[in-house]
Amino acid sequence: MAGNKETPRQRMIGMMYLVLTALLALNVSKEIVNAFIRLNDKMEDANIVLQSKINQDYERFKMAMAVKNTRTVAEQWDEKANIIRKSVSTEIDYLLGETNSLLKETEGSTSEWLTVDKRTGAKKLKNLMNVQAKDDYDAATRLFVGGDPTAPIQRGQDIRNRLQKLRNKICVTLAGYTKGNTVYKFDPASLKNYDPKNKSAKKMLANAMKTVNPEDTAVVSRVFRTLSYPLNLTEYDETTSWQGALFDHAPVVAAAAILTSLRSDVKNAESLALDHLVGKIDDIIMPINKIEPVAFAPKGYLNVGDTMPLRVMIAAYDSNDVCRVQYAENDPEMKTSTETKGTITLRANTPGIKNIFGTIAVKEHGELKWKPWTFTYEVGQPLATVSATELNVLFVGYPNKIKATASGYASNDITLKGDGLIITKDGDGYLVKAPANQMGRKVKLSVFAKGKIVGTQDFRVRAVPRPTTYFGSITSTDSRITRQQLIGALPVGLRLAYDESALISAPFVVRSYNIVINVRGNERTLHCSGPYISAADQQTLRTLQSGSTITIKDIQGTCYGSQVRSAPIVATIQ
């Protein structure tokens, strides 16, 4: 038939057969290409789920590091988790960058195939359905294989080399630490020639695990195997490189899906490593079965005009675990502590700031440990004020004792002020002096608490009350005295003082006075400087007989530097 000349009808039938065959081949190719896109979408979805689980593990480290009592135990493993996160992030960015370059190779250098996930803020690949030349078989070959599939170009070799370098970094990070006196480590150099396709691979990996903590060997081995790729693969009885088997004449969307699968390998390795590290801190993270809002404040008492920071947050705790608590008031060393469970009842016996020092029992790694805590509160004194306003008097020159209080404030937060007055602190009160120029006026004393005025009181300024004059046991009210009283008073001299009924007490100093003697109408004046009588004048006074009169007058005295006068003494000897 081949030698015969075809008729036009036969040529048309032959042409239609060729077209039909081509159409069938094209349809099969399209379905296969679309299958790669669907496979890529499935892997991307799986990566999102895996990333969510990984994020939860990192949050657990964040929780452990946020609490002072768990930070010390967690920080060693948190540091390793951060090293792994940074290393993985670098390689994920690298694989996404290579996928972007691959798609640009076929779709044009101006195209951009990476975008940002609005939910997570992370980089992600755009949908491969948007690729026009989905069945481009040359782009992946040019970028990652080159002309000889058995000897791939450097860019293709870099993919495998970088993933195996990441593998080694994660394994070294997981296995390297000291526990007690034992140093554990993983030496990737002992697996330099490791190839998962070789029969000796299992034995080589087992030997490398001998320097790893037995608690870690299973995870370290799994991570190592997850990111280990053979140097060569066999296809159709022909040996080719790993890169050639994956990328040589692979449709561009298939090559992109392969790079996505490599990202999945990286994420799986990260998840395995984090799961294991989280297990190291599980014992110090308490179980939680109840979450509720709570408010914390540095104090529970406010005065008008005060401000207070109030922290509102969510507390998570185990309501079934009633902890043992030890505590002591104002005793940092807790020498006389009390132990109870759950709630502590504090009794306000005396006013003032109270500091509670305590410990709470917490289980760590199965062992009960006591963790310290402190609490400060202030007890206020119920205050009611009753005052006799007519007695609100300040005496000139006298250190008037004033006590100022303000409910809800500590004594060291309170100050007393008054214009034109001299005010000094005296123990838990104040001494207020009014100068002579305030005599007869009204003055105002103001109480300030933390710089704010919280109360005032008016006072009248008066002279110091006149004291009683004493000459021995003789006073200004005695008009008749015995000779024995006179003789007994001579060595004592004159003094000024308040009697027991006085509202105040003060030290008086006698500066001078005169004694006038009247014997049968004849007067004689004796002048005394200071309180005492001279020996000669005492002798004169001893000679006085019944019927003689003595008058002590012109008395000059001082009190706190101010001059005072007192009533004279006029008495007749019986």
pTM above 0.85, yes or no: no
304 burial via Cβ count (<10 Å: 0-12, 13-18, 19+): exposed
- Residue 45 domain-assigned (yes or no): yes
Looking at residues 341-366, what average pLDDT do you find?
A: 78
Looking at the fold, whether 189 and 256 belong to one and the same domain comes out as: yes
Looking at the fold, whether 527 and 547 belong to one and the same domain comes out as: yes
Looking at the fold, whether 359 and 503 belong to one and the same domain comes out as: no
pLDDT band at 436 (very low <50, low <70, confident <90, very high): confident
Looking at the fold, whether 46 and 166 belong to one and the same domain comes out as: yes
Lowest mean pLDDT among 14-28, 382-396, 401-415, 428-442: 14-28
Looking at the fold, whether 45 and 175 belong to one and the same domain comes out as: yes
CATH code at position 321:
2.60.40
- Residue 139 domain-assigned (yes or no): yes
Scored b (16 or more CB within 10 A) or e, 340-371 reads: eeeeeeeeeeeeeebebbbbeebeeeeeeeee
CATH code at position 397:
2.60.40.1080
Residue 28 has a pLDDT of 39
Share of the chain above pLDDT 70, in %: 87
- Residue 16 domain-assigned (yes or no): no
**Whether the Cβ atoms of residue 156 and residue 247 lie closer than 8 Å to each other:** yes
**Each residue's pLDDT tens digit, 109-154:** 888 999 998 877 888 899 999 999 888 889 999 999 999 999 999 9
From the list 513, 522, 497, 504, the residue with the least C-alpha distance to 553 is 513
CB-hemisphere CA count at 13 Å for 341? 5
- Residue 261 domain-assigned (yes or no): yes
pLDDT band at 77 (very low <50, low <70, confident <90, very high): very high
Look up residue 129 and give its two tokens.
Answer: 């359905």
From the list 498, 423, 35, 47, the residue with the least C-alpha distance to 263 is 47
Report how far residue 103's alpha carbon sits from residue 113's, in angstroms, rounded to the nearest whole number: 7
pLDDT band at 491 (very low <50, low <70, confident <90, very high): very high
- Residue 235 domain-assigned (yes or no): yes
Report how far residue 248's alpha carbon sits from residue 142's, in angstroms, rounded to the nearest whole number: 9
Q: Which residue has the tokens 């294989």?
A: 145
Q: Which of 312, 344, 379 is the last residue of a domain?
A: 379
Looking at the fold, whether 364 and 393 belong to one and the same domain comes out as: no
- Residue 223 domain-assigned (yes or no): yes
CB proximity list for 475: less than 8 A, separation 6 or greater? 468, 469, 569
CB proximity list for 510: less than 8 A, separation 6 or greater? 493, 494, 495, 496, 530, 531, 555, 556, 557
- Residue 15 domain-assigned (yes or no): no
Q: Which domain holds residue 100?
A: 24-284
**In Å, how far are 130, 427, 450 from 433, measured between CA atoms?**
93, 16, 24
Q: Which of 261, 284, 307 is the last residue of a domain?
A: 284
Report how far residue 333's alpha carbon sits from residue 358's, in angstroms, rounded to the nearest whole number: 9
Looking at the fold, whether 257 and 327 belong to one and the same domain comes out as: no
Q: Which of 462, 491, 511 is the last residue of a domain?
A: 462
Lowest mean pLDDT among 8-22, 49-63, 118-132: 8-22
Looking at the fold, whether 152 and 280 belong to one and the same domain comes out as: yes
Looking at the fold, whether 157 and 51 belong to one and the same domain comes out as: yes
- Residue 411 domain-assigned (yes or no): yes
Looking at the fold, whether 354 and 263 belong to one and the same domain comes out as: no
- Overall number of domains in the chain: 4
Looking at the fold, whether 158 and 254 belong to one and the same domain comes out as: yes
Report how far residue 376's alpha carbon sits from residue 388's, in angstroms, rounded to the nearest whole number: 38
User: Which region holds residue 554: left if phi is over 0, alpha if psi is between -120 and 50, else beta?
Assistant: left
Residue 183 has pLDDT above 90, yes or no: yes
Residue 320 has pLDDT above 80, yes or no: no
